[in-house]
Amino acid sequence: MSRPASREPRRLTRWWRRRSLRTRLTVIAATAIAVSVFVAFQVASELLDWELQDTAENQLRADSRVLATNAERAGLAQVQLPPYPGSGRLVRVILPDGSIRTPAGQPALPPVSEHAGRVAQGASADLMESNDSDDDGYLIYTLRAGDGAVQVARAVDDSPINRFGLGMLLIGLLCVVGGALVGRTVARTGLAPIDRLTAAAVRVAHTRHLDADIPDEGGGEIRRLIQSINDMLAALRDSRRAQRLLAEDAAHELKTPLTSLRLNVELLIRLDRRGTLDSALPAESRTRLLNDLGAQVAELSTLAAELTDLARGDVSDESTEVLDLADVVVAAATRARSRVPDIEVAVDVTSVWVSGRPAALERAVLNLIDNAGKWSPADQPVQVRLRAEGASAVLEVDDAGPGIDAADVPRVFDRFYRADSARALPGSGLGLSIVQRVVDAHGGRATVARSARGGALLRVDLPAAAPPAPIARLTAGEDTAVR
């Protein structure tokens, strides 16, 4: 029996949640008005009943004093009683022997109560009592007079309360209906910006047109909601623009190596079909052509990997951990040496702990070293320094190349940006932009300046972290050359 009863609140809750906000506001407004009218009716009924009771009691006391005065003058047995019906009141005289006198034709009152009898015997001065029977109820006032008492009574009349209640019921119904209509109107007016906002959102979803902002209407919460959605649309526009630029830039960067690769392959195919491959292309030229093909394929592979890494943004399955950045720097320097044997890397590191993603950080350091290796002369090593500076881990990659022009500094970390002096060198222009993204993801800062050796000095500041346990640290100033 308890399970069906327990389902009722949940069913009612589900029904309520399925209603529209406009319907909820209308129901709430009508309910609030109905409760207010009911409370007002209860209070007004109590006040009216108290006022009518007080008026009736005062009138009974006044009439009883007049009758008692007459009875004391003429005597209880001879006093003239007002005829019935008169003013609507009923009178009765209680004689000393307990008998009673009533006017002719007057309806019988309830028997004299024990308390009223004590008033007639002189035990008390007066008594106000209410007598309710199955048919009629009476309000009876007993007042001591001479050797007995007089009683004046009025029939209890609930008709004023009933008429008042009926009037309040009609007024309440009108108020509830009017309140529901007003609530509906107010809800429709107040939610009009929400309706327009919903229509605009649906239009954007169907047309995928993100350029039109939603008009900033209303105030308070509505305005904040509209501003938030406009901010979201602006972010989506920026994301779409970034995707378009990435695709356009990638297509542009892929065009040159693909064209060169296609021309070389077409040349080989054409010579092979003619059967003149060996005669038209000496072994030395053929070797050089194949090396060019290999370099172009490697360049395309590198560009594809960098595009994939850059397009991922911050999405990565790699977890964050507390690590020694010195280990990452040494590993990146070793990889750089194995990839380009001509690069000499001098590593001067101090153990500094950071919180980050090891693979992403190693990729960023490797890109910094690769970039410096393109510019540094063969007899000048790329210097990589790592130290703690305040609450930061400071990584510096220093080369002895020609440096970066002041006009190029603001765009060094832009995607696909290559200075005029770098266009003849291999590379995609994505390496430093990947560095910037990794540094931003780790809450750091990447800057560029001129090196004391005349080249470029790329600096990365990352927030330092406490080491997980006491660990032997590399001595400050330790110089490790990867050769």
Range of the domain at 86: 76-156
For 177-205, what is each residue's pLDDT tens digit? 887 888 778 777 777 777 777 777 787 77
Is residue 478 included in any domain, yes or no?
yes
Q: Helix (H, G, I), strand (E, B), or coil: what is residue 92?
A: strand
For 223-270, what is each residue's pLDDT tens digit? 787 788 888 888 888 777 767 766 766 666 666 667 777 887 887 787
Q: Could you tell me the pLDDT band of residue 475, with boundaries at 50, 70 and 90?
A: very low
Q: Is 305 in the same domain as 326?
A: no
Give the Å distances, CA to CA, from 39 to 20, 31, 35, 190: 28, 12, 6, 28
Q: Could you tell me the pLDDT band of residue 299, with boundaries at 50, 70 and 90?
A: low
pLDDT of residue 476: 40
pLDDT of residue 348: 92
pLDDT of residue 260: 73
Beta bridge partners of 33: none
- The length of the chain in residues reads 483
Q: Which of these three, 124, 139, 156, is where a domain ends?
A: 156
For 18-38, what is each residue's pLDDT tens digit? 777 777 777 887 888 888 888
Total domain count for the chain?
3
Is the predicted pLDDT of residue 175 greater than 60, yes or no? yes
Q: What is the CATH number of the domain that holds 287?
A: 1.10.287
Burial (CB count within 10 angstroms: exposed 0-12, middle 13-18, buried 19+), residue 67: buried
Q: Is 397 in the same domain as 379?
A: yes
For 105-130, what is each residue's pLDDT tens digit? 788 888 888 888 888 888 888 899 88
β-pairing, 100-101 vs 456-463, is: unpaired
pLDDT of residue 266: 81
Tokens 């077409």 — which residue? 266
Residue 136 in tokens: 């009629």
Q: Is 336 in the same domain as 462?
A: yes
Q: Which of these three, 287, 311, 335, is where a domain ends?
A: 311
Is the predicted pLDDT of residue 349 greater than 50, yes or no? yes
Q: Is 253 in the same domain as 398?
A: no
Q: Could you tell me the pLDDT band of residue 481, with boundaries at 50, 70 and 90?
A: very low
Q: Could you tell me the pLDDT band of residue 355, with boundaries at 50, 70 and 90?
A: very high
pLDDT of residue 327: 94
H or E segment and range at residue 257: helix 221-274
Q: Is 344 in the same domain as 302?
A: no
Is residue 127 included in any domain, yes or no?
yes
pTM score, whole prediction: 0.45
Q: Helix (H, G, I), strand (E, B), or coil: what is residue 100?
A: strand
Residue 411 in tokens: 């765009």
Q: Is 215 in the same domain as 293?
A: yes
Is residue 95 included in any domain, yes or no?
yes
Is the predicted pLDDT of residue 326 greater than 90, yes or no? yes
pLDDT of residue 478: 43
pLDDT of residue 460: 93
Please provide the distance, in angstroms rounded to a whole number, between the alpha carbons at the two ends of the chain: 85
Is residue 390 included in any domain, yes or no?
yes
Q: Which of these three, 138, 156, 174, is where a domain ends?
A: 156
Separation of alpha carbons 372 and 239, rounded Å: 31
Q: What is the CATH number of the domain that holds 348?
A: 3.30.565.10
pLDDT of residue 317: 60
Q: Is 297 in the same domain as 353?
A: no
132 or 110: which carries more pLDDT confidence? 110
Q: Is 260 in the same domain as 298?
A: yes
Beta bridge partners of 252: none
Q: Is 389 in the same domain as 453?
A: yes
Is residue 384 included in any domain, yes or no?
yes
pLDDT of residue 303: 65
CB atoms < 10 A from the CB of 166, how many? 10
For 269-282, what is each residue's pLDDT tens digit? 877 777 776 666 67
User: What average pLDDT does the segment 147-168 reach?
Assistant: 83
pLDDT of residue 64: 86
Is residue 362 included in any domain, yes or no?
yes
Q: Is 359 in the same domain as 427?
A: yes
Q: Is 338 in the same domain as 476?
A: yes
Is residue 17 included in any domain, yes or no?
no
Q: Is 116 in the same domain as 248?
A: no
Is residue 49 included in any domain, yes or no?
no
Q: Could you tell me the pLDDT band of residue 312, with boundaries at 50, 70 and 90?
A: low
pLDDT of residue 236: 82
Q: What is the CATH number of the domain that holds 92?
A: 3.30.450
Q: Kindly report the average pLDDT of the chain as a whole number.
A: 78
